Chain A
Amino acid sequence: MNHTFIALVENKPGVLNRVASLFRRRNFNIESLAVGRTESPEVSRMTVVVDCPNGDVDAHKIEANLYKLVNVIDVQDVTHQPSVTRDLALIKVKVGPERRAEVNGLAEIFRARIVDVAADAVIVEITGTEDKIEGMIELLRPLGIVEMVRTGQVSMTRGVNDGVRRVPGVNGHRYEDVAELAEMTP
């Protein structure tokens, strides 16, 4: 199944390459990766969705390997935490004036909006979970999608809860997490 990790990394050149290279080197498949700045100029935040066929064991492997990168500050797995997850898509649909209203109607239902109108096409912007976006795409497809771009998933846990950390991580403080490592089953 897919696991969602939030990684805080140092905002330095080449760090994205290191992370991407690590996933390739260890033979993991990235489903989605979004990188951006955070409240601190020295820290970037990555939301990485990775296919983990062996569940927790794979997730542990990913966390532990991410920590081997000197520039990675913190990794948490938010897959099973209550969290807010968003993806943004821009979808260009080839419609003339006669069917614009149809697109507009669909957009309203999905709380999406039309952000650009040209003579022969419109651009729809939609924000939401992956499922919601997929749902909208399915309905727009018969109308003629000519172009689409997506940001990839970003996630944030609700409240002050953190995600799961399976590795002692930096500082070595999180002894209780080592215990968690012990409870993992093969």
Chain B
Amino acid sequence: MKLKGAEIVWECLVREGVEVVFGYPGGANMPIYDAMLNYPVHHVLVRHEQGAAHMADGYARASGKVGVAMATSGPGATNLVTGICTAMMDSVPVVFITGQVAAHLIGGDAFQETDVTGITLPITKHNYLVTRADEIAEVIREAFYIARSGRPGPVLIDICKNAQIEQTEFVYPEDVKLPGYQPVTHSPRNLLDQAVKLIEKAKKPIILCGHGVIMSKAEEELMQFAVKTQTPVTSTLLGLGAFPASHPLSLGMMGMHGEAYANMAIQNSDLILAFGMRFDDRVTGTLKTYAPAAKKIHIEIDPSELHKNVYADVPLVGDLQTVLRDLIPLVDEYDHDEWLEEIHGWKNEVDSRSIMNWENDGKLQVAHLVADIWKATGGGAIVTTDVGQHQMWAAQYYFLEKPNRWITSGGAGTMGFGLPSAIGAWFAHKDQEIWAIAGDGGFQMTAAELTTAVQEGANVKVAIMNNNFLGMVRQWQEFFFEKRYSAVNMLTPDFVKLAEAHRVPARLVTKREEVNDAIEWARKTEGPVVLEFRVEQEEAVYPMVPQGAALHEMIRRPVKA
């Protein structure tokens, strides 16, 4: 069957099970958009390509499938870059398809020509420049395989315009031939035995649960392992949801703004079991004093993460689910009552400082609002965030019981992520409640996607935590720059009017007693809704491990008199 390259693109996407594509048309991808009309794939027209990238990312994280975003050449493609980088840092499987000028024009600085494969080389798992129609099927097949296998990540395909127009025989490749790409899945028995020996000896073990647990769908295995060995579990920002927050062994989040008792537990542990995480500087504090007494067992699918930041006494390369399934039968049942008791002591001390115990003083606290949303939604909503203070409060107080419901930009820390990723998540789970928790700064970066939400009828609830500050930067300036506020005080638009101009119903909330009403109103209102909360301006996120400090050297919330 002879088909145009553009048609082959869609033939392949349909075969990959793609139902929705987020994108923006332009000169260099018009044949693809023309061919699209004949295929059963829903296209979401975004307002800025960054939105398309984040939507595809949010869709991928919520669904566990590969997301797809499209853009034209030049500025279209460069607008994707922030979103590609976001997906790369958080290992999210997204395939990006960009148009490129005709192959014979490449190198000639043609209109809207940009070296997109060059630009995205360090921020993609792999990328392709396609100059001929007969390459398209194979490349798309490979791209999806690479994106979702091994350590997942974004793959970009840059397709020249001539390749989209040319006709060629369409043959869908049966399998992929990638001699240099065969991810390791199992760990060898001798190393598993070494791990078992360390687990046997441990008196104070702790599991560090990362994004890899969710990516490899190893939540069940994590639970079995934790319960069998009675090992407490603390999560990275992206690992939240992999282990139920209400479980007695759950210690919540670790790291810079993690629970103080989780950080204390890590520093005092004698064995760290790192599951699908990469010892990012935001979870370790300074490496010099990181968990000094602990042996480390590191299970990771990406060998380059082993020994990268923290030396692993037993490095286990492989798919986490597979490795845990191999490991669980080898370990005995243990109890670590004394250790759990010790951790419990730290926990009690933390409770005395908790912002949750504050009386209502008339001011709105983001932490309280997150807890209110958590209560109202029964803890079951999909929550997306922007980046900054509100993100940390959301991580601390939206207690997650299940995976794939917490969508936040971790490694890249991308502002403007909340709203578009929520829209993407809605396409994955139209029946579920979705909340985007955003700050006033981040929201303004991608606010134009409100119209996209309206056009698509996306049922997402946006809570803007407006403190008229770039809150996290302000907090750093308060703590580390003698409160010299530099470029953090932000005039915000009237968000209610802004939302209404986008045809989105909206409410302003300024008082504690209005909060629950507003949340219920938002939940009952069909389609996108915006709630603007005027929150306490100069509140800080606690605890905080200053950059370069040891993990246990936290700035703690002052005990309120």
Contacts and interface: CB of A to CB of B under 8 A. Distances in A.
Interface of A: 9-10, 13-14, 17-18, 21, 25, 57, 60-61, 64-65, 67-74, 167-168, 170-172, 175-176, 178-179, 181-182, 184-186
Interface in B317-352: 317-318
Given A21-B121, A60-B306, A69-B180, 8 more contacts: A9-B180, A64-B303, A64-B304, A71-B180, A168-B317, A172-B317, A175-B190, A179-B191
B308 interface: yes
20 contacts: A17-B121, A61-B307, A61-B308, A64-B304, A70-B125, A72-B180, A167-B303, A168-B317, A170-B181, A171-B182, A172-B317, A178-B191, A178-B317, A179-B191, A181-B306, A182-B191, A182-B312, A182-B313, A182-B315, A184-B307
A181 B315 contact: yes
B143 to A, nearest CB: 10
Contacts of A9: 180
B217 interface: no
B275 to A, nearest CB: 17
B248 interface: no
A12 B126 CA distance: 13
B304 A65 contact: yes
A73 to B, nearest CB: 4
Interface string B288-312: 0000000000000011101110011
Contacts of A61: 304, 307-308
Contacts of A175: 186-188, 190
Contacts, number: 88
A67 B304 CA distance: 9
Contacts of B146: 70
Contacts of A181: 303, 306-307, 315, 317
Nearest to A42: B179
A14 B117 contact: yes
B329 to A, nearest CB: 19
Contact of B315 (A21, A68, A69, A178): A178
Interface of B: 117-118, 121-122, 125-126, 129, 146, 178-188, 190-191, 194, 302-304, 306-308, 311-318
A176 B188 contact: yes
Given A10-B179, A25-B122, A178 B304 contact: no
B187 to A, nearest CB: 7
A97 B188 CA distance: 68
Contact of B304 (A68, A170, A182): A68
Contact of B180 (A10, A17, A167): A10
Given A61-B308, A181-B315, A182-B191, A70 B303 contact: no
Given A176-B188, A178-B317, A179-B190, A168 B303 contact: yes
A70 B122 contact: no
A178 B187 contact: yes
B493 to A, nearest CB: 39
Contact of A182 (B179, B181, B184, B314): B314
Contacts of A25: 122
B497 to A, nearest CB: 45
Contacts of A74: 180
Contacts of A70: 125-126, 146, 178, 180-181
A64 B122 contact: no
Contacts of A13: 129
A68 B307 contact: no
B186 A172 contact: yes
A10 B190 CA distance: 33
Contacts of A178: 187-188, 191, 315-317
A139 to B, nearest CB: 43
A72 B146 CA distance: 14
Contacts of A167: 303, 317
Contacts of A18: 121
B179 A60 contact: no
B249 to A, nearest CB: 28
Contacts of A64: 302-304, 306
Contact of B122 (A21, A72, A73): A21
Given A10-B179, A70-B146, A186 B315 contact: no
Give the 7 A-B residue pairs with the shortest CB-CB distance, closest first.
Answer: A175-B188, A64-B304, A172-B184, A186-B311, A64-B303, A73-B180, A168-B184
A171 B435 CA distance: 42
Nearest to A72: B180
Contacts of B185: 172
A73 B179 contact: yes
A24 to B, nearest CB: 9
A9, A170, A171 — which one has the most chain B CB atoms within 10 A of its CB? A170
A170, A181, A182 — which one has the most chain B CB atoms within 10 A of its CB? A182
A13 B185 CA distance: 30
Nearest to A168: B184
A71, A74, A168, A178 — which one has the most chain B CB atoms within 10 A of its CB? A178
Contacts of B316: 178
Contacts of B181: 70, 170
B313 to A, nearest CB: 8
Contacts of B190: 175, 179
Contacts of A185: 311
Nearest to B194: A182
B117 A60 contact: no
A11 to B, nearest CB: 11
Nearest to A185: B311
A9 B129 CA distance: 18
Contacts of A184: 307
Contacts of B129: 13-14
Nearest to B129: A14
Contacts of B188: 175-176, 178-179
Contacts of B312: 182
Contacts of B313: 182
A184 B306 CA distance: 11
A13, A17, A172, A176 — which one has the most chain B CB atoms within 10 A of its CB? A172
Contacts of B315: 178, 181-182
Contact of A68 (B121, B184, B302): B302
A68 B194 CA distance: 27
A26 B349 CA distance: 42
A69 B182 CA distance: 11
B307 A57 contact: yes
A125 to B, nearest CB: 35
Contacts of A14: 117, 129
Contacts of A186: 307, 311
